[in-house]
Amino acid sequence: MRNFPAEADLPVYQDAGRYDAEHWWKVDDLAFWKAMAGEFGPQVLELAAGTGRLAIPVLQAGATYTGVEVSEPFLKLARDKLTAYDQQACLIRGDIRDFHLKKTFDLIFIGFNSFLHLLTDADAQATLACVREHCHSDTHLIIDIFVPDPLFLYRPKNKRVPAKNYPDPDSGAPVKVEETNRYDPDTELNHLRWYYSKEHEKDFLIIDFTLRMYFPDTMDRLLHDAGFRVLEKWGDYQRRPLDENSDLQIYVAVVGQ
Ligand SMILES: C[S@@+](CC[C@H](N)C(=O)[O-])C[C@H]1O[C@@H](n2cnc3c(N)ncnc32)[C@H](O)[C@@H]1O
């Protein structure tokens, strides 16, 4: 076993109720993943499964769902949500850089930017090697990440910009989140800080986290070197081709060159 957990135990992913409340707006990918599970399932594996947000549409497609996730609190909430799908759903605590389930799947996916938590090429390579171990000749691997935006990468250091608003899950009080970031072009690491404020409680929570900015050429290289052939590169959930105006980069790949 490789020793990754401390790094993957991210402070940003310890409060599962807050995560779901904060991401109330993220619904544009649900129909997409339901369709992918229908087309490429039925045995589906999600890496970095979170609180089970994407498990639901996969299960609604009639697929069998396995999720690997490192955060215990997130797994607990996901298990609560999936009790109705007892026979069809399985959640496993693990690090996506080092998991060995000893079976193959028809569809393996990494949704909603989770791939950006793989901070180095070595992390990405370890993850793709594990994915490869769980592929048969017709397994489809799908990765969904955003395209790094120069305006986001090079905005003034310490400039706070509005990031999101959400209702506090306990009180319903409006919470405002602002963001600063510092991008290091040498490592392609983007160091972000989120500031949470309520009307009379400025900065009641501050969270730091880091995302690797993956550009399309890097994704091509990493997938190729890991033994995958890219079938499709989409720029949105409507499956339009990735181009210079795309916000998303969605890769569909199979084993082979
Ligand atoms: C942006 S959230 C996405 C969660 C879920 N897929 C969704 O769409 O809501 C990223 C998730 O990746 C998980 N994660 C980050 N690094 C991980 C790793 N190395 N192994 C397993 N899970 C990881 C986090 O704990 C978090 O749940």
Q: What is the mean pLDDT of residues 226-235?
A: 98
pLDDT of residue 2: 52
Residues at CB less than 6 angstroms from ligand 1: 8, 10, 13, 48-50, 53-54, 69-71, 74, 95-97, 111-114, 117
Give the type of residue at 176: K
144-184 pLDDT, tens digit each:
999 999 888 888 888 999 999 999 999 999 999 999 999 99
Distance of CA 172 from the midpoint of ligand 1 (Å): 25
Please answer whether residues 49 and 92 qualify as being in contact, where contact means their C-beta atoms are separated by less than 8 angstroms.
no
Residue 7 has pLDDT above 60, yes or no: no
* Residues in CB range of 16: below 8 A, 6 or more apart: 51, 71, 73, 74, 76, 77, 78
Residue 223 has pLDDT above 50, yes or no: yes
The tokens describing 200, both together, are 């009379």
User: Ligand 1: which of 28, 69, 116 to mutate, most ligand atoms within 8 Å of CB?
Assistant: 69
**Three-state secondary-structure class, residue 19:** helix
For the structural domain made of 5-147+214-255, what CATH number should be given?
A: 3.40.50.150
**Three-state secondary-structure class, residue 32:** helix
pTM (2 d.p.): 0.96
Give the domain ranges of the chain: 5-147+214-255, 150-212
Angle between helices 216-225 and 121-133 (to 10 degrees): 50
Q: What is the DSSP letter of 116?
A: G
Residue 80 has pLDDT above 50, yes or no: yes
pLDDT band of 9, cuts 50, 70, 90: low
199, 201, 202, 204 alpha-carbon torsion, rounded to 10°: -130
Nearest to 22 by CA among 176, 179, 191, 211: 176
pLDDT of residue 251: 98
